[in-house]
Amino acid sequence: MSMSLPQFKLISRLKEKKGKRILIIGGIALLSIVGVLASSTLPLEGEILTVHPAEFSKGFTEEAQVQALNELSVYNSVDGKIATLHVQNGDSVAKGQVLVELETQDLQNQVDVLKAQLTSLEGQRQQTYRTPQPALIQQQNLLISLAEQDVLAQEQALARSKALYEAGAIPLVNYEEAQHLTEKAKSSLEQQKLALQLLYQQGEPAPGTELYFSGQTKALDTQISLLEDKIQKSIIISPQDGLIKDLTLKTGMVMPSGQFLLSIAPNQGYRLKSYILASDALDIKLGSEVKLFQETSTGTVTRTGKVESVSPSASERISPLGLKENRVEVTILLQSDTPVILGSSMDVQFITHQESNRILIPKTALFPYQDGQALWVIRDGKATLQPVTKGLENDKESIIEKGLEDGDQVLLDTELKGLKEGKRIKAAQT
């Protein structure tokens, strides 16, 4: 069957297009093969670490609160109403500076009464009656009543001082002073009672009469001395240079004796208080160094400290997650005089174990292999699977006991696509 010319031309064009399509597809396939071959021969880029012996440390981190090194608490020694507050929180004070004044008018009135009695007593001495006058008996009973009230007040103050001393809130000298004042008040009461007995025993003027007046005078002088001592202690002064803190008082408040008034923090010297898990406490040694980290607006500030004390017993505390934990109190001396904010927090890094001259690698470079661990090392520019024996580890690094030597190169990017034995590796550009 013969074809017409148009049919022949159409068939020729179709054959020509089919040939071109085959050539294009073949070219694309060839380029793909060339690309695959080229990519398989190109090296992979990854982060490489050259290992050298270094120091290994292991520990844990806890939060700690900043405190003044020698912070002193101030208590009032006598009952009274606050008349004047000379300071407020944050004020800088010098040793001996007046902080608080209590009202003393009532005490001063009592002193004036007793001094008037002394004057009256001297007049009675000069007149000396054969028998005691009723007024003298009445006066003496009044003195005994005042002395009994003073003994009761001093015994109550002593009880409060004892409780504060046993709680560690006041020093021994304050407690001993309260004991001394109580004994002094009791002595004054006994002298007043003795004076009353002498009044009844008086007959004719005799040497005993002079003894009475002497006892009276001594008893009045003792009470005056006690009151004047209270007046003096109503002016509360600073025991050291420093900054005022924890002050919550207001003018007009009535303060019982032994009441906490305020704290004075020194201008330099800080300690930190931290509570660590009881299971970690045995690893902490006195005098061991710690690292301190504090976040600021300009970044993390790093300081050093030294363990000052470790409590011998644990106490139950509630964690931020609401869990009950047995924790041990640890105090740390901050080895810096740079001012810090009292009450602020720092992270304390405690070191419980250290080793020198050890081969260390990041933990992320290790992966399970057979019954142990392995990593990728670079030898002659190629990846090599290297089984290793792992030792101690911390949060970031592991000690390699066997399998690596000084100067070996370790591939840190273990998830590189196409990574296998013998694959060429080059260091990634940083």
Residue 7 pLDDT = 58
* Distance from C-alpha of 167 to C-alpha of 258, rounded to nearest angstrom: 12
Q: Helices then strands (H, E): number in the chain?
A: 6, 22
Residue 28 pLDDT = 66
Q: Which two tokens stand for residue 321?
A: 């997650």
Strand boundaries in 319-370, DSSP class E:
324-334, 345-362, 367-369
Q: Would the pTM of this model clear 0.75, i.e. be above it? A: no
Alpha carbon distances (Å) from 283 to 14, 58, 279, 311, 351: 88, 11, 8, 13, 9
Check residue 268 and report its DSSP letter.
Answer: S
Question: Are the C-beta atoms of residues 390 and 360 closer than 8 Å to each other?
Answer: no
Residue 404 pLDDT = 95
Residue 34 pLDDT = 44
Q: Which two tokens stand for residue 22?
A: 């085959």
* Distance from C-alpha of 239 to C-alpha of 258, rounded to nearest angstrom: 16
Residue 64 pLDDT = 95
Q: Would you give per-residue pLDDT tens digits along the chain (430 residues)?
A: 455 555 555 556 655 656 566 666 665 655 555 444 444 568 899 999 999 999 998 989 999 999 888 888 999 888 889 999 999 998 889 999 999 999 999 989 999 999 999 999 888 887 765 556 677 788 888 888 888 898 898 889 888 888 888 888 888 888 888 888 889 888 888 988 888 887 777 655 566 777 888 888 899 999 999 999 999 999 999 998 888 988 998 999 998 888 899 999 887 788 999 999 999 998 899 999 999 999 988 899 999 999 999 999 999 999 888 899 999 999 999 988 777 888 899 999 999 888 999 999 999 999 999 999 999 999 999 999 999 999 999 889 999 999 999 999 999 998 899 999 999 998 887 6
